[in-house]
Structure 1
């Protein structure tokens, strides 16, 4: 029996393998892709080279200086103001109403010249009251001295009377002793005479002691009263002097400045009314950067060029208080002073801090205040970029800065302000 469940064989289809042939793939698309990629990279590199680098700044806003060798003159030029060597301030020592003004601002004065007069009824009343007190105490002192003289006179009379009584008792005792020796008087009578004589001696001695004690007390009272009168007189003198200050006078010779007192105005004690300037001698007042504070000492030499002559000066005072980055100093003439100086006149002085020396120099500028001398921006060869660089700078004087490290001769440096650049390491300079 035939098995019908087995699958029938499937006839094999023709593959056409005999008719196929190998065709080579073209190579130019791959090369094209490679070349395009290289071209793209080149374009990217060129575009990157054209992108701006660094913080952009305008060339017109920059000040540029070159580094170079030279002679460092350790001196500075400073603008100083001419001021009188001596100024006496006029402050009111008394209060009151202005009755008269006898001078004007800018007037030349001599010592003792009357400036103004005040009126103060309270001060006048005080003078009268103190005068009355002094008069009363003087009257009391006169009475005490009169009483002392009367007491002394009375004591002299009393002592004279007691001395007479003592002499009389002594004489009577001697007489009784003689009579008793002859047997004419009894011992009782003699004893009585002796007791009287002793009593009169004691009364005389006691009177003398009492008289001395009374005189000491009276003299002490008078001395205390005299001291009280002297104190009152001194107080009266002070009050009178204060009343005299109601008419103010010039304390020194000089020119009156800043005086604007008006008749009818009120003045209080301590009010600044003006000053008197001694215009025969002048000095200079100046402000200097705090950078020079450690190097500045009293006695440093300076010079003034005026009218074709050089006038020597020296630092006479240094004011160490620093305000807004500056401190004050005063300079006085070391000898004669030029004629024709005027108070308030501004002149240029040269202050010498040390001896000249050879050094690598850079022009001074605002950059120093912004960087503290710790860094600068150095331009490259083409002048289109400036690189930040750490440096070490030394002394500053006469518009020059001594370069110690970080720069070489010929390099160009930005010396204008740097505060707007922050910490930018590179600047791109736009023309």
Structure 2
């Protein structure tokens, strides 16, 4: 008897083959992605250092130049071109000594016009004051004449009164003398009151005129003082530095053409990387090496304005120190940011440029494996290790430029 054989479905066969292919591809991809990327390196070409517990001191170093403790700028007060130069750069100058002379024909003409106008106004006010006094003098003369008429009328009144009482003169004549005396009396009183009012008014006007003249005199004095600004003089005694004006060159108002160092001591001025802006503060201590001795310095000023990625710091020497310093000389400053304390640290190296301190190669036998770490503070010698390493573990601190995408180094 024949046996019936069932044929397998082609679809099932194709599905099985596809499943096997997908599984194989997945396994290949898994091993590809999970397999560590390694690189063979020569051990002598890399730098290996051990993490260790050290007395960590947070400090920074920078270069600072010696500058005078106090100095004053020589500024242009009246803009113009340089006409004459009377002093040389680097020489000692005394207060009030002429340094240079500026020339500006437009300003000089303006000063002359203003001066003429002020003098003319003062003359007009003086003329007005003279007219007031002449008017007052005229009133006084009129009053004297009226007083004379009054006295005559009074004398005739008193004389004729007696004659009238003795019936020597008639009533009509007596009435005439009496009326004239009354008129002269009223006339004198009215003029006296008028003169008094005029004098009071004149005093007010003259006082106002005098105040106006005084104000104009001050304006004229200021104007004439401003004309002196064409002559640039030393505001203090000291050494003239950075003074290099050029004959004929035009300078603007407020422009500086030099400095006067007051020779009252020295300070250090440094341009520091903006990275340290939040770390540097007034009062912090540091030191420099001067002729084989360590000299302490103190931060006295921090200028937070950042220019070109740097900010400025000023440091002072100890009070009363008599160091034979010279302007322009530079010193290496070691500025202490925190006191010494025991911390786990690793030596500084070029690895930080590629890793930013987030990972490092840790040596284990003949291999160096990539490991995540966390770094904290730093100084010119060490990085502070916050996590990821233990004391005694060795790490690669040289450049990782060729190892950025590598998980493991095979040391040969």
Band of TM-score, shorter chain? 0.7 to 0.9
The counterpart of 2:241, out of the listed 246, 253, 257, is 257
Question: Counterpart in 1 of 2:407?
Answer: 426
Contact 2:363 2:395 in 1 (8 A): no
On the 8 A contact 1:137/1:225 being kept in 2, the answer is no
Q: Show CA shifts across 1:12-61 (max 9, x none).
A: xxxxxxxxxxxxxxxxxxxxxxxxxxxxxxxxxxxx9xx98246778677
Deviation (angstroms), 1:159: 1.9
Normalised to the residue count of structure 1, the TM-score between the two structures is: 0.73
1:283 Cα shift? 1.2
Equivalent residue, structure 2, for 1:401: 383
In structure 2, the partner of 1:332 is 316
Partners of 2:39 and 2:226 in 1: CA distance: 73
Measure how far apart 1:214 and its partner are. Answer: 3.1
- CA distance change for structure 1 residues 81 and 103 in 2, over 3 Å: closer, same or farther? same
Q: Given the superposition, is the C-alpha separation of residues 269 and 289 from structure 1 closer, same or farther in structure 2, using an over 3 Å criterion?
A: closer
Rg comparison, structure with higher value: 1
Separation in structure 2 between the aligned mates of residue 59 and residue 210 of structure 1, nearest angstrom:
119
Q: Secondary structure at the match of 1:314?
A: strand
Write the mapping of 1:42-53 to structure 2, written as runs, cut at 5 A.
Answer: 53=37
Q: What is the alpha-carbon distance in structure 2 between the residues aligned to residue 298 and residue 136 of structure 1?
A: 58
Q: 1:247 aligns with which of 214, 231, 236?
A: 231
Indicate conservation of the 8 Å contact 1:141/1:222, yes or no: no
**Equivalent residue runs for 1:228-243 within 5 Å:** 228-243=212-227
Q: Deviations over 1:191-223 (max 9, x none)?
A: 766654444343223323322343344444444
Given that 2:366 and 2:411 are in contact with CA atoms closer than 8 Å, whether structure 1 keeps it comes out as: no
Q: 2:369 aligns with which of 375, 378, 386?
A: 386
Q: 1:177 to 1:399 in 2, by over 3 A?
A: farther
Shift of 1:366: 5.0
Displacement of 1:315 after TM fit? 1.0
Q: Equivalences for 1:165-244 in 2 at 5 Å?
A: 165-169=149-153, 196-244=180-228
Q: Distance in 2 between matches of 1:185 and 1:54?
A: 155
- Gap change, CA 1:323 and 1:414, over 3 Å in 2: farther
Residue 160 of structure 1 aligns to a residue whose secondary structure is helix
Contact 2:57 2:341 in 1 (8 A): yes
Distance 2:271 2:47 in 1: 25
Cα gap change, 1:272 to 1:376, in 2 (>3 Å): same
Q: Aligned equivalents of 1:187 and 1:405: distance in 2?
A: 137
Matched, 1:283 2:267: yes
Q: Which runs of 5+ in 1 are unaligned?
A: 1-47
Structure 1, residues 230-276: CA drift from partner, whole Å, max 9, x if none?
44433433333333222211222333333332223333334432323
Aligned to 2:55: 71
Aligned ranges 1:249-328 → 2 under 5 Å? 249-322=233-306, 326-328=310-312
Match of 1:140 among 124, 131, 135: 124
Alignment partner of 1:151 out of 111, 131, 135: 135
CA-to-partner distance for each residue in 1:82-134, whole Å, 9 max, x for gaps? Answer: 22222322232223333322223333333222222233333443444444344
- Alpha-carbon RMSD across the aligned residues, in angstroms, is 3.8
1:354 aligned partner: 338
Q: What's the CA shift for 1:379?
A: 1.9
Structure 1 pair 309/385, CA: closer, same or farther in 2 (3 Å)? closer
Q: What TM-score comes out, normalization by structure 2 length?
A: 0.76
Aligned residue for 1:94, secondary structure, equals coil
Question: Does the 8 Å contact 1:123/1:239 carry over to 2?
Answer: no
8 A Cα contact 1:57 1:430, kept in partner: yes
User: What's the offset of the Cα at 1:136?
Assistant: 3.3
Contact 1:101 1:115 in 2 (8 A): yes
Any gaps of 5 or more consecutive residues in structure 2? Answer: 1-31
Partner-residue secondary structure (3-state), 1:251: coil
